[in-house]
């Protein structure tokens, strides 16, 4: 039997526009942001951020893509510099102060318009082996 639990963890997604164009196009700035944010909100980096310039099949979709793996899950950044737009996500199995993260993103990148979405993920995440789907638990015997 699968027990319904509270969520595994929060997933904050931000769609940001009208931001500082120099910052969303600066590899070093994005790297520093992703490098510092985990510690600022009580998370633990597993890797250093990986930040690269991106040029897609559509020329005006170029920008910066970055990810940092944290013990609690991950943070990502994807900018479209010619469209004055970027996406920021953080998913964690550990609760975090959503307002603090939103404020840090807005302040760091000079965001004046954004939408944010918060999803509680992992409602049926098994906390123990016994909570796994029955066919998996049987195969372990």
Alpha helices in the chain (DSSP H): 27-40, 98-109, 134-139
24 Cβ partners below 8 Å, 6+ apart?
Answer: 30, 63, 64, 79, 81, 84, 86, 109
**pLDDT value for 29:** 98
Measured distance CA(63)–CA(104) in Å, rounded = 20
Residue 2's pLDDT band (cuts 50, 70, 90): very low
Within 10 angstroms of residue 51's Cβ, the number of other Cβ atoms is: 21
Q: Who has greater pLDDT, 121 or 53? A: 53
The domains found in the chain, sorted by start residue, are 9-139 (3.60.90.10)
Which of these ranges, 40-49, 77-86, 131-140, has the smallest mean pLDDT?
A: 131-140
Its pTM stands at 0.83
**pLDDT value for 1:** 36
Local structure of residue 21 (DSSP, 8 states):
T
Q: Who has greater pLDDT, 7 or 55? A: 55
37 Cβ partners below 8 Å, 6+ apart?
Answer: 43, 68, 75, 101, 104
Summarised one tens digit per residue, pLDDT across range 11-65 is 999 999 999 999 999 999 999 999 999 999 999 999 999 999 998 788 889 999 9
**pLDDT value for 136:** 52
* CA terminus-to-terminus distance, the chain: 17
Summarised one tens digit per residue, pLDDT across range 90-120 is 999 888 999 999 999 999 999 999 999 999 8
């Amino acid at each position: 039997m699968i027990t319904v639990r509270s969520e595994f963890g929060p997933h904050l997604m931000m769609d940001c526009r009208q931001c500082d164009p120099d910052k969303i196009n600066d590899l070093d700035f994005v790297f520093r942001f992703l490098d510092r944010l985990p510690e600022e909100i009580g998370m633990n980096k597993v890797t250093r951020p990986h930040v690269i310039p991106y040029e897609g099949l559509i020329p005006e979709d170029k920008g910066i893509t970055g990810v940092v793996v944290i013990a609690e899950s991950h943070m990502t950044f994807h900018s479209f510099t010619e469209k004055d737009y970027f996406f920021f996500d953080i998913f964690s199995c550990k609760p975090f102060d959503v307002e603090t993260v939103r404020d840090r993103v807005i302040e760091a990148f000079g965001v004046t318009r954004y939408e944010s979405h918060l999803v509680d993920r992992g409602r049926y995440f098994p906390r123990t082996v016994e909570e796994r789907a029955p066919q998996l638990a049987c195969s372990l015997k």
